[in-house]
Chains A and B, each alone.
Chain A
């Protein structure tokens, strides 16, 4: 079955460490997105990529980095510069027919906790 796989489901990070969250999709979607979810704040866009080898900053990109070397993969690195990284991270993708037709497909999320 096609879908988006995020791993790991739970991740613990020590302060000062960089960690990378994985997002893989087999839907042949062009666009991929990373959102951060905090209680009471909804989902906020971190980075997005509409094609391979290209990506743009979202609303809260500081302290994060991404790459898009393959169509299927869009990993997110949470760097030590991100001062408050504890959150639930969601990856999504969208097909080329546009949001009005294909909408977004979401992964099941990674919960990152700083210890």
Chain B
């Protein structure tokens, strides 16, 4: 069964500092991996996704993530944090349909990012 672990339920950074949100996955086959962002009382918005093409994936709002199979990781980074980045971030995994994954997403427990002046 697939699963996702997000280390750190709360991360605080200064404006302009590097953002690093950690995600490790468990999957029996090469997975599809996603990062979503959620602002208060809203739905989830896709930031970026890895679907077995390039291992370094660039997303919206200056975020990127690198798929590292050897470390089973898909950490999210942004070189310089902005106040508008304050939100909750979710990592998610899906197994391909042919392996029985059925296109279902399994989410991590989320990381709340706080950006301070």
Q: Whole-angstrom distance between the alpha carbons of A42 and B104 in the complex?
A: 15
Query: For A42, what are the chain B residues with a Cβ–Cβ distance below 8 Å?
Result: 90, 107-110
CB distance B104 to A45 under 8 Å? yes
Q: How distant is B18 from chain A, measured CB to nearest CB, in Å?
A: 24
Q: What is the distance, in angstroms, from A102's C-beta to the closest C-beta of chain B? A: 9
B9 CB–A CB distance under 8 Å: yes
B26 CB–A CB distance under 8 Å: no
Indicate if the CB atoms of B49 and A100 lie closer than 8 Å.
yes
Stretch at the interface among B39-47, B61-69, B73-81: B39-47
- Chain A 56-115 interface residues, beta-carbon cutoff 8 Å to B: 58, 88, 90, 92, 94, 98-101, 103-104, 106-109, 111
Distance in angstroms from A51 CB to nearest chain B CB is 12
Q: How far is the CA of A45 from the CA of B92 in the complex (A)?
A: 12
* B55 part of interface (Cβ distance < 8 Å): no
Interface residue B72 (Cβ < 8 Å from any Cβ of A): no
Complex interface: chain B residues within 8 A of A107 (CB): 43
Q: Is the CB of A99 within 8 A of B32?
A: yes
Indicate if the CB atoms of A106 and B109 lie closer than 8 Å: no
Does A31 reach chain B (CB closer than 8 Å)?
yes
A58 to B34, CA, bound (A): 20
B11, CB-defined interface residue at 8 Å: no
A interface, by DSSP: helix, strand, loop or mixed?
Answer: strand
Question: How many residues does chain A have at the interface if contact means C-beta atoms less than 8 Å apart?
Answer: 30
A50 touches B102 (CB 8 A): yes
| Extra contacts besides A92-B43, A99-B94 (11): CB < 8 Å | A31-B103, A35-B107, A43-B105, A45-B106, A90-B43, A92-B44, A94-B103, A99-B32, A103-B34, A106-B36, A108-B42
Using CB atoms and an 8 Å cutoff, list the residues of chain B in contact with chain A: 9, 32, 34, 36, 41-46, 49, 51-52, 90, 94, 96-97, 102-110
Which residues from chain A sit less than 8 Å from chain B, CB to CB?
4, 6, 9, 31, 33, 35, 40-45, 48, 50, 58, 88, 90, 92, 94, 98-101, 103-104, 106-109, 111
